[in-house]
Amino acid sequence: MGFEMMAPLMFAGLVVFLLLGYPVAFSLAANGLLFAIVGIIHGALEPALLQALPERVLGIMANSTLLAIPFFTFMGLILERSGMAEDLLDTIGQVFGRIRGGVAYAVIFVGALLAATTGVVAASVLAMGLISLPVMMRYGYSNRLSSGVIAASGTLAQIIPPSLVLIVLADQMGASVGDFYEGALFPGLALAGAYALWVLFVSVVKPAAAPACPPEFRTHYGAALVVRVFTTMVPPLVLIFLVLGTIFLGVATPTEGGAMGATGAIVMALAKRKLSWSLLRQALESTAEMTSFVMFILVGSTVFSLVFRGVDGDLWVERLLTSVPGGALGFLIVVNALIFFLAFFLDYFEIAFIMVPLLTPVAQKLGIDIVWFGVLLAVNMQTSFLHPPFGFALFYLRSVAPKSVKTGDIYWGAVPFVAIQVIMVGVIIAFPVVVTGNISQAAGAIKGSGADELQRQLGGPPAAPKAPAGKAPPASEPPKPEDAGSELERLLKQQ
């Protein structure tokens, strides 16, 4: 077997493992180790290559940026189980109830608010499916519109900070989580606005599909409604500022913001007298499962990427994508079409850990801003929750929807919102300022990749300045995302 064939065969082997249904983490690790052994037997790889694995795994464990994942997951689960979604949906439904499509607008508004407080798609979709879908059916809403609005609004947690996928993307691309949060904020809110415009269009063209709330169901009026809105809205808005405000102002890192958010969620649950040992245990167990899932995939992807780069797989991918006609624009079109296709079969974590490390060096070589590119991919990957056959938001909604709502209604209801997400991808490509215009350049802001935060934790010397985002480094070797494990090794040698 020729050395130049090992990279494409390794990538094809991974595809075969995934199609056979093996868990992603073990497929990545097994494929990497298999080709490492084959390469060593044929003399294409040195056995010393695998000696880097323990150091890289240790670097993953020492990466404090990834602590934000359990913090934000725990925060979302506590809020979801403490009844915040029910209160918000009921209150906002009362506010918008008198206009056509009012409950749908309430679902979108609450979906955006839940996204900014929980960051967990499953929690948002399940909560709104359990609470809003029966209400919308009782008012006479179209099953397709109801299911599409609920599923799409739940996926806003994928792109509106503090999104878990933005943390993973920032870590994989060696960029600042804070920059990703700032860059993704406006596209996320714009998506929510676009969903509302679609509901408005449907309510005008087909009024029977989105009727107003009957007067007998509106129980709050005047001052009582104002008080209800104030008492329901203020706590989550304070929590949003506590988390995102401190990150955007440069007061806290994303990890510290996540810790404050988790603490704030516990305080809110206590204030509502909803916190119990049972709730706390369930939240901790679910958080441990999600965190373990992410860490296992991250370790597996580290094994795969180490061997893949050992067989010059990164150079193979670079040659493949830089030869696409059209330069940077051609690269963006091909990559986004590929991500959209892969999202039919893989979820966002799998795409982030498998494809993003391969695409990032090529994007840097073409002079593409890494934060902008990451937010673009995040918006595209959002479609993985909505389109069949493996749209997880559709599965979540199906699990709580009444039998009268057909699976076909759920799938067809999601189609317009997938189209809106694709249009948003085009808008971000055509107008990069949608993302880059929101990124703060204030001096003193606490930013950095996992390796940067690791330096602060260990008290090491400041990192050498990297090439600015969007500029390819002058070195002949293709740039690669900074590895926290390598940074750990350098720091420990210096101490």
Would you list the domain boundaries of the chain?
Answer: 65-495
Average pLDDT over residues 378-403: 79
CB 394 within 8 A of CB 121: no
Residue 85 binned pLDDT confidence (cut-offs 50, 70, 90)? low
Residue 427 binned pLDDT confidence (cut-offs 50, 70, 90)? very high
Task: Tell me which of 7 and 149 has the higher pLDDT.
Answer: 149
In tens, the pLDDT along 350-374 reads 788 778 888 888 888 888 889 999 9
Q: What percentage of the chain exceeds 70 in pLDDT?
A: 83
Per-residue pLDDT at 217 exceeds 70: no
For the chain, helix, strand, coil in percent to 5 are 75, 0, 25
The contacts of residue 309 (CB under 8 Å, 6+ apart) are 480
Residues 34 and 484: their CA atoms lie apart, in Å, by 25
Q: Is the dihedral of CA 129, 130, 136, 142 positive or negative?
A: positive
